[in-house]
Structure 1
Amino acid sequence: MEFCPTCGNLLQYETANAGVKARLYCPTCPYTCEIEHRVKIKKRQRLVKKSIEPIFSGEDAMKFAPKTEATCPYCNFGQAYFRQLQIRSADEPMSTFYQCCNQNCKREWRED
């Protein structure tokens, strides 16, 4: 990528034709620059894939969620898994979703 030294715009590439060498030119001002040597890629780099945080739904959604001390409104158990999501506008607080840790209950509720 090259930029015009006169106006700072991105230079565009024009292929060689009819005895005229390939060149870079500015689309807004009269600046041109002939390309004298052919461009070679000396080293190819492999792209490294980013690690992506998995998104779980259903049963797996709460499997990896952190625990907190929250009382279940159905069975009065004292611990629950929780996760927070922004489901309303950005100036509103996040909604917290809970799931009871009691193996017999496993009910879910929400706190806005």
Structure 2
Amino acid sequence: MLRFCPTCANLLFVEEGDKGYRFACHTCPYIKNITRKISHKKYPKLKEVDDVLGGAAAWENVDSTEETCPKCEHNRAFFMQIQTRSADEPMTTFYKCCSMACGHRWRD
């Protein structure tokens, strides 16, 4: 748990003093001796991870083209284009093999 200086509101640091450990402010002369064990754990709630490519539903209504799969050599692949970089750079083309047995994904 973070402790803040009651005088100047800056972060207090733990340092070793004459009588054990103490909280000390690096900005002002505030010092407070630590007389008891202080422990507090707080785990932040992580954000949900979004699938930027739209997940499995993104491949439902896409077109196919003549593109050879690098894994199974099938000659057709589904494709979609997404702007992954800045607007002045070309779009990234993502491919998915049309062969149901393979389903390999790659990008160009």
Larger Rg: 1
Q: Report the structure, 1 or 2, having the larger strand content.
A: 2
